[in-house]
């Protein structure tokens, strides 16, 4: 934004020192703040009947150009449909992952119980095997002589 002319030199701008008028612009530097100092009727009265006649006379007459056709705003329907499809897929996938996580947790628990049962079974069978091994070793010693 900005102006290519010095608006102060042209008389189109003036220094504002009123604290009520400078408060908002100083709080928002770089932002254009527009304030009307009078009503529209007062502004028209200040112009007078022919106030803008010289300005219009100095401008070359513009040829009547055909009005640009009004282009309709692009539709968001396709974007909205794509966003909805994406959100639906993400929700469905999240549910599928949650269901699978539940199954995994149940399988981990089942494996833990199975491993415990197997350890207990081996713990009961190991002494019998050890006794049988000792008995076999003793029998082999007697057989060898």
pLDDT tens, per residue, the chain with 145 residues: 566 777 777 777 778 888 887 888 888 888 877 777 677 777 777 777 655 555 555 555 566 677 778 888 899 999 999 999 999 999 999 999 999 999 999 999 999 999 999 999 999 999 999 999 999 999 999 999 8
Place of tokens 């929700």: 91
Q: What is the DSSP letter of 28?
A: S
Q: Could you tell me if 16 and 33 are in contact, meaning their C-beta atoms sit under 8 angstroms apart? A: no
Task: Give me the pLDDT at residue 13, please.
Answer: 77
Residue closest to 16 by CA, chosen among 6, 26, 4:
26
| pTM, to two decimals | 0.39
For 52, list phi and psi in degrees, rounded to 5.
-105, 5
Question: Do residues 8 and 14 lie in contact, with contact meaning Cβ atoms separated by under 8 Å?
Answer: yes
């Amino acid at each position: 934004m900005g102006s290519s002319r010095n608006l102060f030199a042209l008389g189109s701008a003036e220094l504002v020192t009123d604290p009520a008028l400078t408060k908002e612009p100083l709080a928002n530097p770089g932002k254009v703040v527009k304030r009307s100092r009078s009503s529209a009727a007062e502004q028209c009265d200040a112009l007078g009947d022919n106030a803008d006649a010289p300005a219009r006379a100095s401008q070359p007459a513009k040829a009547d150009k055909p009005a640009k056709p009004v282009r309709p705003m692009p539709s968001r329907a396709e974007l909205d449909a794509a966003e909805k499809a994406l959100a639906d897929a993400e929700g469905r996938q999240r549910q599928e992952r949650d269901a699978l996580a539940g199954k995994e947790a149940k399988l981990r628990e089942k494996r833990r119980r199975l491993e415990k049962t197997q350890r207990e079974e081996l713990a009961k069978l190991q002494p019998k095997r050890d006794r049988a091994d000792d008995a076999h070793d003793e029998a082999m010693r007697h057989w060898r002589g």
